[in-house]
Each structure stands twice: as structure tokens, then as C-alpha cells.
């Protein structure tokens, strides 16, 4: 898999997250460098991503003291984007015959037991139309 074969949107979305992965691996001084493994991915997501709070813009006309909500942890979308970016990096490493580790999980359900505090949101709502009897 060539890096250039990805869509521009994927490159823009995954690039900064993969750079952050590489910098984290460098800081941690792993013996295998930035190779993607499941254990490293879980540690990265747990320590670096899920410990963050959502960055929000202040609401116009509302002082910070008046805002009801305090800082919120990142949600499932952020978690999923980081997970997908790291799995994409793993695919690239495998295609270049650099990584022989098994594919890390890229589905939320696969990681839920390993990573604390993932916000899954409310259960899906049935979307079928309900017919009401006519009077």
C-alpha cells in the first residue's frame, strides 16, 4: 500500500495522528521503534488520546463561568479516527514488509475491554416509521 494511493481526505486526517504516534514512540524509546503492535496501540490510545478533553470554542455572549458543561473527555469519533490512522500505518508497514505483527484491532468493540472510559453514546434508536391508527 502506497502512502500516495490514499485519498487527500485520508491523508489530511491520518497524517497528523500518525506523526503523533511516531513522536510518542520516539519519546518512549521502544526497541522496535514505531512499528505498530496491539499492545503499543492500546497504550497510546489509553495514555495519549483518552486522557484528553474536547477542545471547544467559547460560546458567544456566554462567560466561561456561566457555561454548564465542564471539560468533557474525547468521544468515540476521536478514538476511532486515531485507531484507524494507526491501523493504516500498520498496513503501510506490512506492505513494505517491515511489520510482521498481527493486525491490531480497528473496531471499537475489539478495544473496549482493553481501553478505559470510551464514550459509546446512547444505544441506537430504531428508525422504522411507526404508523398511527387513524381516528
Domain spans of the chain, in order of start: 3-56+71-112
Res 88: pLDDT: 94
Q: What pTM was computed for the model? A: 0.69
Res 133: pLDDT: 56
Q: Is 73 exposed, middle or buried (0-12, 13-18, 19+ CB in 10 A)?
A: middle
Phi, psi of 124 (to 5 degrees): -60, 145
Res 81: pLDDT: 94
**pLDDT tens digits, 31-74:** 999 999 999 999 999 999 998 888 776 667 666 665 666 778 88
**pLDDT tens digits, 91-122:** 999 999 999 999 998 754 455 455 545 444 44
Amino acid at each position: 500500500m502506497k502512502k500516495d494511493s490514499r485519498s487527500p481526505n485520508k491523508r489530511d486526517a491520518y497524517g497528523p495522528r500518525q506523526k503523533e504516534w511516531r513522536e510518542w514512540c520516539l519519546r518512549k524509546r521502544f526497541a522496535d521503534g514505531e512499528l505498530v503492535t496491539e499492545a503499543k496501540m492500546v497504550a497510546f490510545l489509553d495514555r495519549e488520546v483518552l486522557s484528553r478533553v474536547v477542545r471547544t470554542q467559547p460560546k458567544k455572549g456566554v462567560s466561561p463561568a456561566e457555561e454548564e458543561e465542564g471539560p468533557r473527555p474525547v468521544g468515540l469519533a476521536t478514538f476511532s479516527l486515531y485507531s484507524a490512522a494507526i491501523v493504516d500505518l500498520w498496513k503501510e508497514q506490512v506492505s513494505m514488509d517491515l511489520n510482521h505483527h498481527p493486525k491490531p484491532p480497528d473496531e471499537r468493540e475489539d478495544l473496549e475491554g482493553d481501553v478505559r472510559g470510551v464514550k459509546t453514546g446512547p444505544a441506537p434508536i430504531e428508525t422504522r416509521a411507526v404508523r398511527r391508527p387513524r381516528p
